[in-house]
Chain A
Amino acid sequence: MFLQQLINGIALGSTYALIALGYTMVYGIITLINFAHGEIFMVGAFVGLLLVSFFKLNIFVAMVLSMCFCMVLGVVIELIAYRRLRRSSRLSALISAIGVSIFLSSLALMVFGADAKGFPEGAFPLHQLHIGNADISTLQLTIIGVAALLMLGLEFIVQKTKIGKAMRATSEDYAAAALMGINVNRVISFTFALGSALAAAGGVLVGLLYNAVSFNMGLMAGLKAFAAAVLGGIGSIPGAMLGGVLLGVTEIFGVAIGYSSYRDAIAFAILVLVLLFKPTGLLGQKIQKKV
């Protein structure tokens, strides 16, 4: 029972973590809460669904193509809605992000309709494994595996490649990075591309997990992932992973002990409690007040 719920929680949590990474990376670099990120996750799920059901593609191929599509989408959104606002008030960029989010979700509503769509049967070879007294599906294991793989890939890009170094430098100090000859615009576009690709992967995985893709799936998932990013300490990549898994696990355990009608509140209650005792999140850096 415990093991079962733990696996359920980690599977759900790793999808939160995938979305949270996009929030945290964008925030780390341009301190913008990208509220359109949840909708990119939704678009990713829809693109994956379309590729699987109309083009009969393998689910993993569909996921990779959906990630590519969302990369472009993320970069285009940044170009249109955020780039010109970089020097103005942060609230303006926030409202612009909310505008993008409303635009994308109503576009999805128009194109795909209001009811949730499922993946066609057999899109994913589903088997149940028995480990001890827990029933674990291959889908859950795949979700955890894919999420872990993507996060390792991200960690590699951020820590070992040149553009990753540039990303870290830009998030450390925007102006100094620009002075050192880093093409800041390219770094920001790259960050949006990376974050959006992870969100798209998360979208396809969540679509498979619940076998439902709908136009409004981005809102709550986005809010919870944002909560996960803040819980872990916004701007910190390991923090987003930790926060996501933690929220997923507590949510599943909360439901398991009988608070299912409070499901959506659990994540936020944990968040508020943690912030009260640790105001910068679990792994967040202490911000020094400078005069």
Chain B
Amino acid sequence: MAEFLQNIVGIVDPYTMQVIVNIGIAIPLALGLNIITGLTGQLSLGHAAFMSIGAFISAICTIRLGFPFALTLVTSGLVTAAIGAMIGFPILRLSGDYLAICTLGFAEIVKVIFLNLDITNKALGLSVPAPKSFLPMPIYVWGIAILSIVFVAFLQSSRFGRALKAIREDEIAAEAMGINLARYKVQSFAIGAFLAGVGGGLYAHFLGYINPSDFGFLKSVDILSMVVLGGLGSIPGTVIGAAVLTAAPEFLRFMSEYRMLVYGALLVSLMVFRPNGLLGGVNFTGLLLKAIGRNINESIPRDKGRRDL
């Protein structure tokens, strides 16, 4: 079985495979932020901090404790979620841009602390051994990516997800409807952090080397761009955003030194011409059903996403 899977993975050339795996790693990360920013409407500029916590916890689990890979991922997700909830309690009292700058500050603090701890090997970073699992890494990563897509899809249409959307649309109205703002916000923060922790664990084990400086502000911005580019609050949008933004620097590699220049210009022009994201305001269920020949556009209300976050 394992050999068979290994053979499947072997068909694709290693470079392409690496890009594909990187997309798979970006999906849980972006979906986690999508819950916090897209669904609940709380702008977070420090998502890389959760990724970094997950990456280091998982690396330490593997190196020091010798956990099997699956257990490592679950541990890193849970610890990250706990930390997310812990910092969520005080800072979610803030609103809007004050919250954003607080998450940014939290991320910088986490980075500096990891740069000074012995267990994270300070500024040298950690080398992470290959994961102990019989599945090949690409299949593992994509399995988790698909799991997280399914999880977030269920979450989004559940009672919980509707409460989060209500908070995004209007906090005061939601509170008047009996939604406990603080509890739901902290929970959405914790779930987002859990996904980021798992993503960080995957990242650490796939790359084999992690350094606290890799999880700076620019990483948070990367993840946020995936969510916004695809269309806030939309799962297919987030997945496509993750795919496009992970692959874009690779496709732009032929321009070598102009690469980041073009990437920056691309971000600006995408936003100027598609301000709601590539797929913002597109109704996927409707499109899908139309494709199979049923027109039920009227029965499903369009989820336009909030405009003034």
Contact A279 to B232, CB < 8 A, known contacts A268-B105, A289-B172: no
B160, CB-defined interface residue at 8 Å? no
Q: Cα distance A88–B265 when bound, in Å?
A: 19
Chain B 57-96 interface mask (CB, 8 Å, partner A; 1/0): 0000000000000000000000000000000001101110
Q: Cα distance A100–B253 when bound, in Å?
A: 20
Contact present for B97 and A230 (CB under 8 Å):
yes
Contact present for B91 and A276 (CB under 8 Å):
yes
Minimum C-beta distance from B259 to chain A (A): 8
Minimum C-beta distance from A117 to chain B (A): 19
A5, CB-defined interface residue at 8 Å? no
Chain A 105-129 interface mask (CB, 8 Å, partner B; 1/0): 1110110000000000000000000
Contact pick for A268, options B104, B275, B306, CB 8 Å:
B104
Contact present for B97 and A27 (CB under 8 Å):
yes
Contact present for B268 and A227 (CB under 8 Å):
no
Q: Which residues of B contact A104 (CB under 8 A)?
A: 264
Contact present for A96 and B268 (CB under 8 Å):
yes
Contact present for B260 and A102 (CB under 8 Å):
yes
Considering the complex, which residues of chain A in the window 173-230 have a beta carbon less than 8 Å from any beta carbon of chain B?
219, 223, 226-227, 230
Contact present for B97 and A262 (CB under 8 Å):
no
Contact pick for A89, options B113, B257, B309, CB 8 Å:
B309
Q: Which residues of B contact A280 (CB under 8 A)?
A: 98
Contact present for B98 and A279 (CB under 8 Å):
yes
Q: Cα distance A268–B107 when bound, in Å?
A: 9
Minimum C-beta distance from B260 to chain A (A): 4
Given contacts A80-B268, A106-B260, A275-B91, 16 further A-B contacts (CB under 8 A): A85-B271, A85-B272, A90-B308, A91-B232, A92-B277, A103-B260, A103-B265, A109-B260, A234-B98, A262-B112, A269-B109, A275-B101, A276-B91, A279-B94, A280-B98, A289-B172
The 9 closest A-B pairs by CB, nearest first: A99-B267, A103-B264, A268-B105, A88-B275, A102-B264, A106-B260, A265-B112, A99-B268, A96-B271
